[in-house]
Structure 1
Amino acid sequence: MPTTSRRLLTLLSLLQARRDWPGSLLADRLDVSPRTVRRDVDRLRELGYPITAVKGPDGGYRLGRGADLPPLLLDDDQAVALAVALQTLAGAGAGLEEAAARALVTVRQVLPARLRRRVETVRVETLASPGRGSGTDPATLATVGAAVHASEVLRFDYATPGREADEPGPARRAEPYAVVAAGGRHYLLAWDLDREDWRTFRLDRLRPRSPGGPRFRRREVPGGDAAAFVAGRFRGTDGSTSDWPCRGEVLVDLPLADVAPYAGDGWVEAVSATRCRLVLGAWSWPALAARLGQLDAEVEVVGPEPLRAAFGLLAERFGRTASTPVPSVRSQGPPAL
């Protein structure tokens, strides 16, 4: 049986997840007796949580609205960061989706009304991909999230290679559609009004301008899925599909256990104890051949023909590199960047 404190937190989370809970069902979920449930409910009432009894054949409990709950002591940036973290976890495919979703409900209900409204405008879609965070400013995330929620044109400065975001220049204008988390960064998917095309912007490079622009009528995101569209752009497609533009099939002279950790979003199956079949994708055929070369094993191309030709191209290219003598000049270290 869990400790009393852990059980109380679980009970509170369950009460916040749906409107009414029969007492017998709560007892089953907590693996305790109905009498223990009644005592735990009394403890929560003593802490200030407005839990009312629901009449009926089985009896039950209902938690009052979040405005009456004790406020959660978070500042604005902390609240936004917590909401984004829970949304990211809920979509990360790590087996914690249900718990993260319930925790997000809990956080929203116990926040003060002003802060809860701000958090509810932040919506983040997630691509399951590893990466290192880039330090997105919570205030920027909140501003962009509010513009997405309200369908309002966003005016902003944007840092590109060779230019800082605060350098003088005209503001960028875009219709914001979704914030997508991928590879440890946050990206804005938007319709660029000046370039008349879909664009993705890194939020750590974006600085919103005030005031924003007028409301707009939402367009249809190609394919209907913002996260899939951004994934397709990352993989070199036009965004209408999230699949790699180049995908091939090979036989690899390695056991399945040695290949599986490096298959990523590919597909792999054992052919024998020492050989496996691998289907993998990349943004170009030479890139796919180079990726397969990293396995450091004999590879037989099953198809298609462009993949076989890419291996020949790389062989010629690497052959020229191998035949070029290395200069005898003593290295002075890498050049300064």
Structure 2
Amino acid sequence: MLETSGRLLRLLSLLQTHRAWSGAELAERLAVSRRTLRRDVERLRGLGYPVHATQGTAGYRLGAGAKLPPLLLDHHEIFAVALGLLRTAADGPVTGIEESSLRALAKLEQVLPSRLRHRMDTLLTTTTTVRAGAVPAPTVSADTVMAIAEACRRRERLRFDYTSPGRGHSIRSVEPHGMVSFGRHWYLVAWDTDRTDWRTFRVDRLTPRTPNGPQFTPRELPDGDVAAYLARRLSSQAWPFQAVVTLHEPAAAVADRIWPGMGVIEPVDDHSCLLHLGAVTPRDLAWMITSVDADFTLTHAPPELADALRIQGTRCLNAVREA
């Protein structure tokens, strides 16, 4: 069992997660009785922390305005923060924050208790981060990300210059809904007021114009979730090559093998489903389809896809013969 002071800090740390805890959950986490938990809650209240009892669940939550000790983190939280800052400094797609991430790491290390400082130092001195690929991901400026975020939060129309490889330069006016960091890119999901439809925009291809436009009433997003909508858009947009294949397994069996943005699954029956997908080249399509690791039939596909599958199959057979 933790000593009283350490247990109070642990209790305060749990309450800082901005959720309501039941008394049973807190008692279990702290390995104490419900009676001891009530005493600890009273001690926190005596120290000035507004711990409120929740109605109906016999639980507790921390009220707003509490002056909490800085950096009340356990060793798992320290690991998460340090690892996130390391990744940002090494391969972050947002420019202008690499040095800030390293400075934050240095400050974090200085104010930690000695035990946690040692764990963080161990992580930093034994970990090397490298860029995810030979070709760097497109970068976006921190100012651009914040400008979009502010427009989303304030529900203000956003105007920006946009450069598309296929359509060139244009000026867009949108009602921004939210941003998604998806793979190697940042995307803005917004209602395009000129085209009266939902659109997705690569953040690295846009430059916001100031000032923002008038406020708007948010619209209901298709799919109900910005990440789900983006995944569907990325898998069904106007790729140069598109295909529909019948997978000879039920949709539930292959769902975990389809990564976000790869394609859209359409259930058919208990033994099969359709996979809708697109790609830049037929070779990419062939690789994506075979990576699902399921028997399949081409339902709607360009002739180039059949050629790409034959080439891939021949390459695999040759490798087996030479083994």
Structure 2 length-normalised TM: 0.50
Q: TM-score, normalised by structure 1?
A: 0.48
